[in-house]
Amino acid sequence: MKGSKLFKNVKLKGQKELVSILVEDGIFKKISADIPQEKTVGCEEVDLNGQLVVPPYVDPHLHLDYVFTASLGEENGSGTLFEGIQRWSESKGNMTVEQMKERIYSGIRKEMLHGVQAIRTHIDVTDPIFTGLKAALEVRDEVKDILDLQIVAFPQEGMYAYKGGDKLVEEGLKMGADCVGAIPHFELAREFGEKSIHKTIELAVKYNKLIDVHCDETDDTQSRFLELLNALALMEGIGTRTTASHTCSFGSADNSYAFRMMKLFKKSGINFISCPTENVYLEGRQDTYPKRRGITRVKELYDNGINVCFAQDSMSDPWYPLGNGNMMMILDHGIHLAQMMSPEEITNVLDLVTTNGAVTMNITDHYGIEENKPANFIVLDAKSEFEAICERAGITASVRHGEFLFKKIPAKVTGAIDLLK
């Protein structure tokens, strides 16, 4: 059958028995340990030799317009979020749309070669000529067959701290951005932060958009914009379409407050994104010892059945000097910082960089290894969940609509002494 493939000897997460996957016309036609031979006549056969197959990695929080901008301006000497914003503000106005597209594509290439097939990127719209947004909108259309790319209209310098920022966010939504963004903890006073949350909800309802707020990305335990965001999303019935990114201060909040909020998060269905490498790097800068880890309460959210996922956030920009789009490395850092390594957790934590991110992005209608969904998946260089996590397994293949986006040959040891063979 033209366009049909049979992937044999597939290890799926949570299953002991190897299965076969029949793909027809880019769709998962059959997933079973026993597919009748007559169903596979004429199929191209691909033997995966027991390797672990999972849905593609999802990076639900990235700044593609900032990729490789760390060298453009002065160094972020304090290593803080707030100086990073200052450095970006000083250097961001010198790029054309084409130059911005080159940056965006360089970030996409890195992520996709690590197995990512879905990205939500925050694009700075505190720019009256919308250089970044114009570039991102063009790229979204150009990559639509190989990548799910969502765009957040993000006011990096504030909805109200930047004059007319709220109007720029609204214009960004009209231009085609998928999500409303905000940064309430950066506004000039608490009242303006709260006002930005109200405006975010208002715009999301008005234009039927998703929400992703940079929320309480600070060690300040008095920064509680998350509480208002959750309450308004709950009242409007849009909790599952709402995401709170970072929420670092919630990791420092007292336990009685956190306990109360968990029930409200569960009720609203709000999503959480933690960026473990970036949060641990930026937060705790004013601490001596004990020194905070800077991440939100990932384990507690996870244990309470609240959707939480991990993200890269930055690739060599004024906030974070490193980052290469490798979600397995992000997962490795995240589960260490969140102390999530019980046998059961090790079996399931891949969800933090796959399925949970898809839930956050609201793309589960066409995401996941299920019959009648698009045949999108990645193959890891491991034969179990434990091996994948322990060895920080790389990608041996990425498949989109049943076709290979790429294959990789795993590293081999040569010339070794007998003990190391």
Backbone angles phi, psi at 226, to 5 degrees: -55, -40
Helix (H, G, I), strand (E, B) or coil at 374: strand
- Residues in Cβ contact with 260 at an 8 Å cutoff, skipping those fewer than 6 apart: none
H or E stretch including 395?
A: strand 395-400
| Count of C-beta atoms within a 10 Å radius of residue 84 | 22
- The single-letter code of the amino acid at 74 is E
Q: Which of 24, 111, 170, 217 is catalytic?
A: 217
- Residues in Cβ contact with 66 at an 8 Å cutoff, skipping those fewer than 6 apart: 88, 103, 124, 314, 315, 317, 318, 319
Measured CA to CA, the distance from residue 50 to residue 206 in angstroms comes to 49
- The single-letter code of the amino acid at 107 is G
Measured CA to CA, the distance from residue 191 to residue 133 in angstroms comes to 28
DSSP 98-121: HHHHHHHHHHHHHHHHTTEEEEEE
Active site residue 217: yes
Measured CA to CA, the distance from residue 81 to residue 282 in angstroms comes to 6
| Token code pair at residue 329 | 């490395």
Measured CA to CA, the distance from residue 393 to residue 385 in angstroms comes to 10
Q: Which residues pair with 271 in a beta bridge?
A: 243
- The single-letter code of the amino acid at 355 is T
> Pairing between strand 116-124 and 44-47?
unpaired
Cα 192 to chain centroid distance, Å, stands at 28
- The catalytic residue positions are 217
